[in-house]
């Protein structure tokens, strides 16, 4: 069993981030290659956090990966999972065999590994390693199996226990049913549940959540709603508002709207103005011609502000680039390393070319160590609350803390 005690003793006195990738189909050879490359780049320093991501080709031998890397590198915490594809540096390996390893030396930072599983027969969670609520600024990295983990309930539990604490991560991929994905924690590989780490102390972990949409039309206040049914926007039937927005679009946008029209819900109504990143984007799932109501993929309440959104390759590219630029201009210290969890609906299928998201990260952030995976759902905060997203790139940017700063 892995240790679930928080650890804060680092053997390094400086921040270091390095990554490596192996394309070998031989799991043991891939693990050895990764260890050798990471050791060479670290120059003798022992890592504190190791994140491991691998394609479905290595799922059956995931425990070999975990054991080899944990025993050889002896990182304080090692977590990871399988993915629909692997992201490594400026490359996105969507279908090829691949294993990516990203490690960080984080002096003075406390790392608390956590594990969660859910019993559907007993309708309850089993929690191992989760700390008591202590009010310390922190961030969670979370990886979960989509077939065995009720992630919405997990996020509600997280908000109850650690209100306002950001969580970043994604749902593992590569399999088509329960038992076909893998999660890694320490030397172990799991077929179900969730693994993660709580990060607290002198490091900035900045979330960047790119939902890949741009707002269109006007904003409206929800004046009549029930559960996920929006009946009226600004006193007018919601379907009538939707039709008006659709008719206002130009030819190309109108064709895109047939395939990818969504609605954005403002999470923080106290803001004076709403921009990219202020909306929680959800699918439009249906409409009732008789009543004029529109059904969306989430619960909405009267008094909330909403705006229709359009998702396409151009919007997704602009959104990611602008959010990364905004992060850089609003923080003193640049990112030194990054983890990225991109929806399996993005990649070459959306953009028509490979390496899109990782390429923009390299362009905006420079040559820093980056790793991640293509997920079946992305975890990240919007408006101070954590959500499960789709078609999103959820990123954790690691930087040195500013003066008197803990984890952000």
Burial class (CB in 10 A: 0-12, 13-18, 19+), 380: buried
230 and 157 inside one domain: no
- Alpha carbon 56 to its chain centroid, in Å, reads 19
* Whole-number Å distance between alpha carbons of 87 and 98: 9
Which residue, of 295, 311, 327, is where some domain finishes?
A: 311
- Summary mean pLDDT of the chain: 93
261 and 385 inside one domain: no
Task: Please check whether residue 355 is in contact with residue 128, taking contact to mean a CB–CB distance below 8 angstroms.
Answer: no
55 and 170 inside one domain: yes
166 and 225 inside one domain: no
Query: The pTM is what?
Result: 0.92
Q: In the prediction, which pLDDT does 258 show?
A: 76
CA angle 173, 20, 188 (to 5 degrees): 50
Question: Angle between the 27-42 and 62-73 helix axes, to the nearest 10 degrees?
Answer: 30
- Alpha carbon 65 to its chain centroid, in Å, reads 23
* Whole-number Å distance between alpha carbons of 62 and 354: 26
205 and 222 inside one domain: no
Task: Please check whether residue 238 is in contact with residue 250, taking contact to mean a CB–CB distance below 8 angstroms.
Answer: no
264 and 279 inside one domain: yes
Least confident of 23-37, 236-250, 271-285: 271-285
In a domain, 84, yes or no: yes
4: confidence class by pLDDT, cuts 50, 70, 90:
low
Backbone angles phi, psi at 34, to 5 degrees: -65, -45
The whole-number average pLDDT for the span 35-55 is 95
User: Which tokens in the block code for residue 214?
Assistant: 């741009």
In a domain, 7, yes or no: no
Q: Tell me the pLDDT tens digit for each residue of 133-165.
A: 888 999 999 999 999 999 999 999 999 999 999
State how beta strands 86-88 and 370-375 pair. antiparallel
State how beta strands 167-171 and 138-144 pair. parallel
In the predicted structure, residue 199 carries a pLDDT above the cut 60: yes
Which range of residues forms the domain containing residue 47?
A: 16-210+318-399
> Could you identify the residue written with the tokens 């594809």?
85
Q: In the prediction, which pLDDT does 406 show?
A: 45
CA angle 169, 328, 92 (to 5 degrees): 45
The whole-number average pLDDT for the span 381-387 is 94
103 and 196 inside one domain: yes
167 and 51 inside one domain: yes
193 and 49 inside one domain: yes
Which residue, of 311, 333, 359, is where some domain finishes?
A: 311
Q: Is 321 helix (H, G, I), strand (E, B) or coil?
A: helix
Which residue, of 284, 311, 338, is where some domain finishes?
A: 311
What total number of domains does the chain contain?
Answer: 2
């Amino acid at each position: 069993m892995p240790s679930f005690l928080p650890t804060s003793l680092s053997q390094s006195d400086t921040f270091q981030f390095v990554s490596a990738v192996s394309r070998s189909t031989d799991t043991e050879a891939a693990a050895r290659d990764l260890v050798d490359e990471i050791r060479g780049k670290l120059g003798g320093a022992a890592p504190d956090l190791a994140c491991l991501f691998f394609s479905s080709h290595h799922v059956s031998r995931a425990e070999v990966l975990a054991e080899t890397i944990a025993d050889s590198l002896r990182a304080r915490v090692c977590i990871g999972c399988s993915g629909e594809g692997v992201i490594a540096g400026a490359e996105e390996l969507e279908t090829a065999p691949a294993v990516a390893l990203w490690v960080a030396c984080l002096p003075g930072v406390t790392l608390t590994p956590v594990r969660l599983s859910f019993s559907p027969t007993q309708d309850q969670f089993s929690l191992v390693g989760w700390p008591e609520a202590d009010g310390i600024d922190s961030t969670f990295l979370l990886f979960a199996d989509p077939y065995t983990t009720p992630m919405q309930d997990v996020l509600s539990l997280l908000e109850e226990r650690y209100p306002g604490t950001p969580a970043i991560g994604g749902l593992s991929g590569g399999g088509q049913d329960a038992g076909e994905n893998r999660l890694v924690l320490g030397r172990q590989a799991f077929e179900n549940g969730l693994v993660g780490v709580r990060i607290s102390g002198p490091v900035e972990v900045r979330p960047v959540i790119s939902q890949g949409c741009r707002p269109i039309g006007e904003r409206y206040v929800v004046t009549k709603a029930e559960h996920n049914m929006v009946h009226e926007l600004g006193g007018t039937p919601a379907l009538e508002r939707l039709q008006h927005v659709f008719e206002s679009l130009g030819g190309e946008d109108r064709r895109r709207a047939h395939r990818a029209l969504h609605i954005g819900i403002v999470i923080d109504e106290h803001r004076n103005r709403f921009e990219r990143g202020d909306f929680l984007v959800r699918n439009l799932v249906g409409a009732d011609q008789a009543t004029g109501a529109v059904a969306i993929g989430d619960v909405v309440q009267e008094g909330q502000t909403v705006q229709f959104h359009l998702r396409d390759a151009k919007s997704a590219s602009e959104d990611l680039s602008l959010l990364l630029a905004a992060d850089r201009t609003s923080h003193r210290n640049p990112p030194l390393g990054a983890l990225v969890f991109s929806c399996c609906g993005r990649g070459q299928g959306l953009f028509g070319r490979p390496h899109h998201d990782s390429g923009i990260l390299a362009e905006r952030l420079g040559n820093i160590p980056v790793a991640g995976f293509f997920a079946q759902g992305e975890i990240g905060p919007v408006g101070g609350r954590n959500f499960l997203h789709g078609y999103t790139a959820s990123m954790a940017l690691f930087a040195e803390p500013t003066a008197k700063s803990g984890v952000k």
